[in-house]
Amino acid sequence: MKKTLKIAGIGFGILLSIVLIAAAWVQFTPMPVYDVVPPVVQLPTDSASLAKGKKVVELLCAHCHLGDDGKMSGRLFSPASDPFGEIWSANITQHPTKGIGRYTDGELAYLMRTGINRDGRIVGYMMCHPNMSDEDLASIVAYLRSGADIMQPSEAVHPAPAYLSSFMVKALIKFGVFKPLPYDGKPISAPPATEQVAYGRYLATEFYECYTCHSANFETNNLLEPEKSPGYFAGGNPVPDEAFNTCISPNITPSKEHGIGNWTEDQFLVAVKSGTRPDGTLLQHQMPRFATLDDTEVRAIWAYLRTVPPVEESPLLAAKGE
């Protein structure tokens, strides 16, 4: 009996030491610095490309980066009460030292491919478009470099994100749960607009990233293979607004009962562009107003969504426990 206890004690002691060593490793060793391999970016100068870049910047990047001054000067992204602590989005105006003046075009592209900033630090997947075409990605960079009002230099400086000292985040990064998205630099192209369903898929997944909000949760999305995201287009994601009020994203698969299977294409067009549902009610602002989309883009997204398997579940009823 005594012997068994002794062996159990030694076993426990060894286990405890391993846990303590691992914890010390997580807490005290420096954070990994990843290689930055910026691709060569050909900045377009034509107005159609700039207009494309403008759409992504205004509809997606601005959602998190638009500051109180009306410029892309950054804002509070996650409050101190959040498990990851206080996080500010960055000043990405053209300021030479406080904004993206520090970045080369290639470094900006690399950040959008991998989630790694120019210093080799992982800053997250919020700005990642891993399978967007090189041409479209370059159009975003071109717009960021344009003289647009929202890009005019701002002096704003924000505190470093609290998660840099969070044990949990350190552990997630050091054990490789949060890691750079793989990017081999090979050319990436988009399907032509004439292939309506493929083009619609491209817009809904890579370009406007509709699925990121309309799947189960930001944390479980699969950025490299969007279709593998749990609850793909079936909604359920609590999407926050600037004041951190959340709105659960709805199911927009073709389910007639729980999705938008009974909607017409024109009703979809109105809802996406103006935020008005078929019954005349307004969508909350956690759903961006995609007013600048061309009708051909919205119709292609619609055509693609009709091909997504219907999910016979309502995240809204589930949230109410029904």
Where along the sequence are the contacts to ligand HEC (CB under 6 A)?
56, 60-61, 63-65, 77, 87, 89-90, 92, 100, 111-112, 117, 123-124, 126-127, 140, 144, 161, 204, 208-210, 213-214, 239, 247, 249-250, 252, 260, 268, 271-272, 277, 283-284, 286-288, 290, 301
Q: Which of helix, strand or coil describes residue 195? A: coil
For residue 46, the 8-state DSSP code is: S
Which residues does residue 122 pair with via DSSP β-bridges, in sequence order?
A: 116
- Least gap, CB of 174 to ligand HEC (angstroms): 16
- Least gap, CB of 161 to ligand HEC (angstroms): 4
Q: Kindly state the tokens that stand for 240.
A: 């926050």
- Least gap, CB of 298 to ligand HEC (angstroms): 7
Place of tokens 């060894």: 14
E-strand stretches of the chain: 76-78, 87-88, 238-240, 246-248
Place of tokens 């998190």: 64
105 contacts: CB under 8 Å, gap ≥ 6:
38, 41, 43, 138, 141, 145
CA distance 265 to 197: 14
- Least gap, CB of 90 to ligand HEC (angstroms): 4
Give me the amino acid identity at 60: L
- Least gap, CB of 58 to ligand HEC (angstroms): 10
| Burial group, residue 123, by CB count within 10 angstroms (0-12, 13-18, 19+) | middle
- Least gap, CB of 21 to ligand HEC (angstroms): 28
Nearer to ligand HEC (CB atom), residue 7 or residue 221:
221
Which residues does residue 276 pair with via DSSP β-bridges, in sequence order?
A: 282
Nearer to ligand HEC (CB atom), residue 13 or residue 70:
70
CA dist list (Å): 283 to 77, 254, 271, 276, 289: 22, 19, 8, 6, 9
Nearer to ligand HEC (CB atom), residue 2 or residue 321:
321
- Least gap, CB of 225 to ligand HEC (angstroms): 18
**What is the C-alpha R_g of the chain?**
22
Displacement of CA 202 from its chain's centroid (Å): 15
Which residues does residue 116 pair with via DSSP β-bridges, in sequence order?
A: 122
- Least gap, CB of 258 to ligand HEC (angstroms): 9
Whether 161 and 88 have beta carbons less than 8 Å apart is answered as yes
